[in-house]
């Protein structure tokens, strides 16, 4: 199994290649020499309220990822912006037909690469009357078509006294109405979640039952919750579903009120970490091969899903309460 940590942005300190099947080209840029497996790029950025600067940074990463052999690129939650207030967050939002998504669909078509746009501030269907938004995960294919939209179902309403965390996503965000089926992509069948969804194993198991081979949790985890829970939750979701887990992440300070933990991560179906972008550098990515033979071997050798009882069995305790 190949794993590569590749730093590509202007703030990078190093670029490390962990496999002989990759070779250093110029500086921090890498290309695939020989590989029989598709490659995913799991990105880490630091966005601000400046949408134009954010797009420029993400465009640069997507172009580098494509040049490095990636067939699908994963951007984090709030790749478009992170506002400094409720009012700014709402004012900067757009519809799926607005300029931001149009630019990304054009970029995907131009480069011939699939995109996971991990958390877009999408104006709700009743925007004119209620001024509320969805947190939407959008999959764009290499022809520039939107092939799936998942709207985040679990909203982050958390108060952690003493840890500096006070967020109420539901104050301006509408919970999504449902899960969406896994999407067939060049790297495998991808099941969609967003950030706080990571804490709900019911979601990942539902996606696995529908054929997901890869789970993705684009995130903007807080520093306090990230340090305590980020890696262990991602590895747990991989182990219990025997899926690859890809989690693009925000890192660093977005504005004076908000910082993110970073550590964009890729995990294999055994729970091993394949790539970790660390907690400091922005404009970085982890390039990983998605070896579905490894997934099939893991599931065959430890057939957890065939050992699972029917849903009624796990609800049987409720009859005794």
Question: Would you please indicate which residues are annotated as catalytic (active-site) residues?
Answer: 77, 152, 195
DSSP SS3 for 123: strand
- Spatial separation of the C-alpha atoms in residues 167 and 64, rounded to whole Å: 34
DSSP SS3 for 119: strand
Q: Quick one: CA dihedral 23, 213, 204, 58, positive or negative?
A: positive
Give bridge partners of residue 238 from the DSSP assignment: none
- Spatial separation of the C-alpha atoms in residues 88 and 95, rounded to whole Å: 16
Half-sphere exposure of 121 (CA within 13 A, CB side): 23
Q: From its phi and psi, is residue 7 left (phi > 0), alpha (psi between -120 and 50) or beta?
A: beta
Q: How far apart are the first and last CA of the chain?
A: 47
Torsions phi, psi for 254 (to 5 deg): -90, -35
């Amino acid at each position: 199994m190949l794993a590569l940590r590749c730093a590509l942005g202007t703030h990078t300190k190093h670029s490390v290649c962990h496999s002989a099947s990759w070779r250093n080209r110029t500086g921090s840029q890498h290309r695939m020499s020989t590989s029989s497996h598709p490659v995913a790029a799991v990105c880490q950025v630091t966005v601000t309220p400046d949408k134009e600067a954010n797009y420029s940074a993400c465009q640069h990463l997507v172009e580098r990822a494509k040049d490095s052999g990636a067939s699908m690129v994963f951007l984090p939650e709030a790749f478009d912006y992170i506002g400094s207030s409720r009012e700014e967050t709402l004012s900067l939002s757009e519809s799926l037909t607005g300029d931001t998504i149009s630019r990304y669909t054009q970029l995907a078509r131009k480069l011939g690469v699939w995109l996971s746009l991990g958390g877009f501030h999408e104006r709700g269907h009743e925007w004119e009357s209620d001024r509320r938004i969805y947190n939407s995960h959008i999959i764009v294919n290499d022809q520039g078509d939107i092939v799936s939209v998942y709207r985040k179902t679990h909203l982050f309403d958390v108060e952690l006294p003493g840890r500096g965390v006070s967020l109420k996503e539901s104050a301006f965000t509408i919970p999504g109405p449902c899960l969406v089926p896994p999407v067939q992509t060049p790297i495998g069948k991808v099941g969609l979640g967003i950030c706080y969804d990571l804490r709900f194993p019911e979601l990942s198991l539902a996606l696995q039952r529908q054929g997901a081979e890869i789970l993705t949790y684009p995130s903007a985890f807080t520093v306090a919750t990230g340090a305590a829970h980020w890696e262990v939750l991602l590895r747990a979701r991989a182990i219990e579903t025997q899926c690859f887990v890809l989690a693009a992440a925000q890192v660093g300070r977005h504005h004076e009120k908000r910082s993110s933990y970073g550590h964009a991560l890729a995990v294999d179906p055994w729970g091993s970490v394949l790539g970790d972008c660390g907690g400091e550098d922005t404009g970085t990515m982890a390039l990983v091969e998605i070896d579905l033979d490894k997934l099939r071997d893991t599931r065959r050798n430890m057939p957890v899903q065939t050992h699972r009882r029917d849903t009624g069995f796990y609800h049987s305790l409720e009859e005794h309460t």
